[in-house]
């Protein structure tokens, strides 16, 4: 609660004409409190990190399925484009590690690691089995194996220990292992690997950048900042590039307030520059999408004698576009060109979106045609910028025309583009859309069906929702507990109580549990225990109540 209160206080100060007070944090060369913190973040040096691979009796899984709620995001409601693939700083970084690096030998390596986890009762027995095999690991194979095992940190660290002979020449394997551990919340073991890299004299800035990113992702911004401060204890220079990486990590995971305060408090060590302000501005404009804060930071740049550049203007234009502010979007666009900055494709995409959203479709299409005149090329995001608002306005035919034009120009629609149509099509159009997605090799996936289920329940079309439920099996989509929750709650809201209870029993038989659904069923039973029959026309009103 402290963060929104601080924002309210800042806004009140701005409204009153005063400058908000900021807490300045001085950064000593070696902060004393970091010594104790670092010691709590890593086990004793004598402790091997590989003991934990056998500390649990749980069965080994080489590639466990991630919980759906970790990946389930509506791309139409988010500032960025999210996929069901695991995103990481390795995939985001230029030249980073991707799934395409996996070699043909990796399945045998994964099978052997899985066998060692399942059949061996101790680390020594497992290592003996792995080393007696005919497989000779090299750095690339080890990195690929760790990447494939990123969802099972115990198996990953077993493979890491197996390839210890080639670790000295493969920094990427170390970095991947640290990321896997931190991604699974095992920061203590990750810090032990950092210390081992330090002893082997192969430590660089990269492990600290990974830990800062993962601490920020785990909603531990203070630990991310401490990680940056502790770099000097390991004789690693904390330069402006690493500092900006910290700011980006904080902003990426919505800790924009902390990032801005850090930028201003460290100005003695890292002088204020346009690049630093652009990182914070990107956070307010594209992550949080807060126009008030974006305007305030824009004024603060002027107060600090920092001149905005083309990136600054692009961020502000995108922010105004996201909230449907056509006037300020076009005003900044004109100002940007007058100051000599060349608008990039992101600026054109933002303007096309806001023009279409504000029912200026003709102007949006004219601007669309001017993109090539500006020496740019329309991409998938450009078409999505006009298709999304057309679908939201239920102008289906115009949106379909843009989709066909997109395909004619050799651009492949993404699954998010199809989802825009899935939100507005009727049952026949939805079934045809799902078939087309499958034929184009672009879904459907779990989120597709969840979105469609929720749509039909909002339209009070429980029968169509059940038709979609049957279609899931056709496309080999196994229902997740999130689907069961949406189905049961939707059926109850439409008065299909017996059907809701039937799917609730099926949900329990599959081992799924959801506290909100269980409360809903108990509430239904309590309210209707004296009823002789629950008809479909008898609506259940209890699901509208807030359940804490």
Q: What is the mean pLDDT of residues 191-214?
A: 95
Q: State whether residue 506 is helix, strand or coil.
A: helix
Global pTM?
0.77
Indicate the DSSP class of residue 18: -
Cα distance between residue 170 and residue 97, in whole Å: 13
**Range of lowest pLDDT (81-95, 324-338, 349-363, 434-448):** 81-95
Report yes or no on 245 lying in a domain: no
Residue span of the structural domain in which 185 resides: 31-73+87-203
Least confident stretch, 31-45, 53-67, 374-388, 460-474 = 53-67
Question: Which two structure tokens, joined as six digits, stand for 138?
Answer: 């090299």
Per-residue pLDDT tens for 53-79? Answer: 554 433 333 332 333 333 333 333 333
C-alpha closest to that of 481 among 21, 38, 68, 184: 68
Residue at a domain's end among 171, 203, 235: 203
pLDDT in tens, 102-115: 556 788 888 888 88
Please choose, from the candidates 301, 327, 328, the residue with its C-alpha nearest in 3D space to the C-alpha of residue 312. Answer: 301
DSSP character string of 239-261 = -HHHHHHHHHHHHHTT-HHHHHH
Q: Residue 546: pLDDT above 50?
A: no
- Domain membership flag for residue 52: yes
**What is the pLDDT, as a whole number, of residue 126?**
87
pLDDT tens by residue, 115-124? 888 888 888 8
Report the interhelical angle of 310-322 vs 291-303 (nearest 10°): 160
Q: Give domain status of residue 135, yes or no.
A: yes
Residue 117 class from Cβ within 10 Å (0-12 exposed, 13-18 middle, 19+ buried)? buried
Q: Are 146 and 176 in contact (CB under 8 A)?
A: yes
DSSP calls for 415-463: HHHHHHHHTT--HHHHHHHHHHHHHTT----HHHHHHHHHHHHHTT-HH
Residue that finishes a domain, picked among 167, 185, 203: 203
User: Is there a domain that residue 418 lies in?
Assistant: no
Query: Alpha carbon 420 to chain centroid distance?
Result: 19
Instruction: Note the pLDDT of residue 137.
Output: 81
Answer yes or no: is 368 within a domain. no
Please indicate, yes or no, if residue 344 is contained in any of the structural domains: no
Residue appearing with tokens 């059940």? 466
Q: In angstroms, rounded to a whole number, what is the distance separating the alpha carbons of residues 163 and 131?
A: 9
**Domain tally, the chain:** 2
pLDDT score of 527:
78
| CA atoms of 395 and 357, how far apart (whole Å) | 11
* Domain end position, chosen among 148, 173, 203: 203
95, part of any domain: yes
| Bigger pLDDT: 271 vs 165 | 271
> How far apart, in whole angstroms, are the C-alpha atoms of residue 293 and residue 275?
18
Asked whether the bond before 299 is cis by omega within 30 degrees of 0, the reply is no
Helix, strand counts (H, E) of the chain: 29, 0
User: What's the pLDDT score for residue 310?
Assistant: 96
Task: Look up tokens 């409601």; give the residue.
Answer: 77
Predicted confidence (pLDDT) per residue in 115-160, tens digit: 888 888 888 888 888 888 878 888 888 899 999 999 899 999 999 9
- What's the rounded Cα separation, in Å, for the pair 311 and 288? 17
- Which of 475-478's residues contact partners 24+ apart within 8 Å by CB, and which partners? 475/434, 475/438, 475/444, 477/444, 477/445, 477/446, 477/449
pLDDT tier for residue 341 given thresholds of 50, 70 and 90: very high
Structure tokens that stand for 132 in this block: 């007696």
Which class for 36: exposed (0-12), middle (13-18), buried (19 or more C-beta within 10 A)? exposed
Does residue 98 lie in a domain region? yes
């Amino acid at each position: 609660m402290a963060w929104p209160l601080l924002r309210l206080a800042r806004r009140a100060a701005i409204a009153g004409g005063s400058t908000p007070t900021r807490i300045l944090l001085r950064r000593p060369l070696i902060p004393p409190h970091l010594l104790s913190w670092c010691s709590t973040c890593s086990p004793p040096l004598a402790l091997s990190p590989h003991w934990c691979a056998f500390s649990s009796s749980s069965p080994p899984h080489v590639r466990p399925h991630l919980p759906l709620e970790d990946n389930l995001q509506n791309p139409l409601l988010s500032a960025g484009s999210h996929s069901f693939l695991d995103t990481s700083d390795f995939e985001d970084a230029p030249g980073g590690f991707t799934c395409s690096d996996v070699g043909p030998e990796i399945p045998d390596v994964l099978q052997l690691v899985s066998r060692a986890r399942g059949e061996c009762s101790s680390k020594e027995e497992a290592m003996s089995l792995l080393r007696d095999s005919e497989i000779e690991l090299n750095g690339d194979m080890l990195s690929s194996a760790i990447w494939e095992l990123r969802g099972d940190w115990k198996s990953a660290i077993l493979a890491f220990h197996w390839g210890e002979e080639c670790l000295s020449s493969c920094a990427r394997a170390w970095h991947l292992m640290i990321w896997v551990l931190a991604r699974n919340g095992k920061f203590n073991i990750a810090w032990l690997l950092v210390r081992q890299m330090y002893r082997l004299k192969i430590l660089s800035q990269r492990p600290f950048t990974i830990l800062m990113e993962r601490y920020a992702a785990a909603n531990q911004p203070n630990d991310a900042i401490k990680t940056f401060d502790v770099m000097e204890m390991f004789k690693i220079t904390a330069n402006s590039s690493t500092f900006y990486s910290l700011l980006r990590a904080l902003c990426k995971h919505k800790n924009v307030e902390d990032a801005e305060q850090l930028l201003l408090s460290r100005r003695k060590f890292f002088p204020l520059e346009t690049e630093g302000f652009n990182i914070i501005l990107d956070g307010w404009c594209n992550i949080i999408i807060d126009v008030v804060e974006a305007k305030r930071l824009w004024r603060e740049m002027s107060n600090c004698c920092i001149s905005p550049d083309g990136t600054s203007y692009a961020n502000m234009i995108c922010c105004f576009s996201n909230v449907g502010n056509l006037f300020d979007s076009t005003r900044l666009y004109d100002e940007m060109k007058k100051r000599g900055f060349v608008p990039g494709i992101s600026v054109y995409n933002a303007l096309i979106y806001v023009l279409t959203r504000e029912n200026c479709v003709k102007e949006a299409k004219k601007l669309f045609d001017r993109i090539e005149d500006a020496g740019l090329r329309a991409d998938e995001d450009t078409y999505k910028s006009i298709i999304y608002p057309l679908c939201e306005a239920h102008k289906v035919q115009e949106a379909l025309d843009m989709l066909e034009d997109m395909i004619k120009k050799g651009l492949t629609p993404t699954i998010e583009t199809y989802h825009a149509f899935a939100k507005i099509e009727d049952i026949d159009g939805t079934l045809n859309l799902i078939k087309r997605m499958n034929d184009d090799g672009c879904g459907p996936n779990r989120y597709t069906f969840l979105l469609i289920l929720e749509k039909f329940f909002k339209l009070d079309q429980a029968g169509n929702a059940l038709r979609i439920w049957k279609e899931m099996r056709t496309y080999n989509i196994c229902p997740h507990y999130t689907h069961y929750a949406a189905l049961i709650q939707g059926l109850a809201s439409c008065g299909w109580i017996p059907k809701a209870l039937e799917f609730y029993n099926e949900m329990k038989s599959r081992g799924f549990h959801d506290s909100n659904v269980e409360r809903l069923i108990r509430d239904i039973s309590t309210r209707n225990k004296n009823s002789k029959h629950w008809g479909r026309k008898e609506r259940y009103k209890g699901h509208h109540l807030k359940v804490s």
